[in-house]
Amino acid sequence: MTTRIPNCVRTTGLALAVAGAAATAAHAQSSPAPAPAPSAPAPSAAAPAAAGPAPGGRMITQGLAKVTVENFYKCPVTVSNHRVSAVGTITATDGTVITVPAEVQYGKGPIAADLYNECTQVTPATAKDVDASKVPAVEVDPDGEVVTGYVVADNYFELYVNGKLIAVDHTPYTPFNSAIVKFKVKKPYTMAFLLVDWDEQLGIGMELFGGNPRHPGDGGLIARFSDGTVTDSTWKAQTFYIAPLNTPDEVVEMGNVHDTTKLGRVHPVAKKPPCADSCYAVHYKIPDGWQGKAFDDSKWPRAYEYTDTDIGVTALPAYTRYPELFEGARWIWSSNLVFDNLVIARKTVR
The string of pLDDT tens digits covering residues 306-328 is 999 999 999 899 999 999 999 99
Cβ neighbours for 164, distance < 8 A, ≥ 6 positions apart: 138, 140, 183, 291
List, in order, residues 6 or more apart from 334 with CB less than 8 Å away: 237, 238, 239, 301, 303, 304, 340, 343
pLDDT the model gives residue 81: 87
Look at residue 160 in the predicted model and tell me its pLDDT: 99
Q: Left if phi > 0, otherwise alpha if psi is -120 to 50, otherwise beta: which for 26?
A: alpha
Average the pLDDT over 168-184 and give the result.
97
* Overall average pLDDT of the 98-117 stretch: 97
Q: Is the model's pLDDT at 214 over the cut of 60?
A: yes
pLDDT given at position 208 = 87
What is the residue type of 146?
V
Nearest to 291 by CA among 8, 24, 22: 22
Rounded mean pLDDT, 335-344:
98
Rg (CA), the chain: 19
pLDDT > 90: percent of the chain: 81
DSSP β-bridge partners for residue 239: 343
The total number of structural domains that make up the chain: 1
CA–CA distances in Å: residue 125 to residues 116, 119, 129, 312: 9, 16, 6, 21
Check residue 348 and report its DSSP letter. E
Q: What is the pLDDT of residue 1?
A: 35
pLDDT at 44 over 50: no
pLDDT band at 53 (very low <50, low <70, confident <90, very high): low
Q: Are 162 and 293 in contact (CB under 8 A)?
A: yes
Average pLDDT, stretch 135-148? Answer: 98
Average of per-residue pLDDT across 302-309? 98
- pLDDT tens by residue, 239-263: 999 999 999 999 999 999 999 999 9
Average pLDDT for the chain: 88
Give the C-alpha distances (Å, rounded to integers) separating 4 from 110, 118, 154, 232, 242. 12, 12, 21, 30, 34
Enclosing domain of residue 94: 1-350
The better pLDDT of the pair 95, 47 is held by 95
More confident call, 87 vs 32? 87
Q: By the 8 A CB rule, do 180 and 150 touch?
A: yes
Is it the case that residue 17 has pLDDT exceeding 70?
no
Is the predicted pLDDT of residue 38 greater than 50, yes or no?
no
Quick one: pLDDT at residue 54?
A: 64
258-299 pLDDT per residue, tens: 999 999 999 999 999 999 999 999 999 999 999 999 999 999
Q: Please report the pLDDT score of residue 43 as a whole number.
A: 36
Residue pair 173/117 in contact by the 8 Å Cβ criterion: no
What's the predicted TM-score (pTM) here? Answer: 0.86
What percent of the chain has pLDDT above 70? 84
Confidence class of residue 192 from pLDDT cuts 50, 70 and 90? very high
Mean pLDDT of 100-115: 96
Q: Are 213 and 310 in contact (CB under 8 A)?
A: no
* Cα–Cα dist 195/102, whole Å: 9
50 pLDDT tier (thresholds 50, 70, 90) = very low
Residue 331 near residue 222, CB atoms below 8 Å = yes
Angle at 73 between CA 218 and CA 281, to 5 degrees: 35
Handedness of CA 261, 263, 267, 269 (dihedral sign): positive
Mean pLDDT score, 36-59 = 49
- Tens of pLDDT, residues 114-128: 999 999 999 999 999
Q: What is the DSSP string of 272-337?
A: --TTGGG-EEEEEPPPTTTTSSS---TTSPBPEEE-HHHHT-TT-HHHHT-GGGGTT--EEESS-T
Average pLDDT score over residue span 163-168: 99
pLDDT value at residue 32: 34
CA angle 240, 246, 249 (to 5 degrees): 60
18 vs 246: which has the higher pLDDT = 246
